[in-house]
Amino acid sequence: MPTHELVYTQFANRSQDIHRGRGMQIEKNVWVTVRYRLYDSQGEAIEEGEREVTYLQGGYGSVFEKIETALLGKTLGYSTSLYLEPDDTFGDYDAELLKMAARDVFPDALEPGMTFESVPGEPADGELYTVTDITDEVVILDGNHPLAGMSLRFDLEVDDLRAASDEEVAAEIERQKPD
pLDDT tens-place values along the chain, 179 residues long: 554 444 443 444 444 444 557 789 999 999 999 999 999 999 999 999 999 999 999 999 999 999 999 999 999 999 999 999 999 999 999 999 999 999 999 999 999 999 999 898 888 888 899 999 999 999 999 999 999 999 999 999 999 999 999 999 999 999 888 76
* pTM: predicted TM-score of the whole model, two decimal places: 0.76
CA dist 38 and 61 (Å) reads: 19
User: Amino acid letter at 125?
Assistant: D
Domain boundaries of the chain, sorted by first residue: 3-90+149-162, 95-142
Topology of 3-90+149-162 in CATH?
A: Chitinase A; domain 3 (3.10.50)
Tell me the Ramachandran region of residue 42: left when phi exceeds 0, alpha when psi lies from -120 to 50, beta otherwise.
Answer: alpha
Contact between 25 and 74 (Cβ < 8 Å): yes
- Count Cβ neighbours within 10 Å for each residue of 24-33 and write b for 16 or more, e otherwise: bebeeebbbb
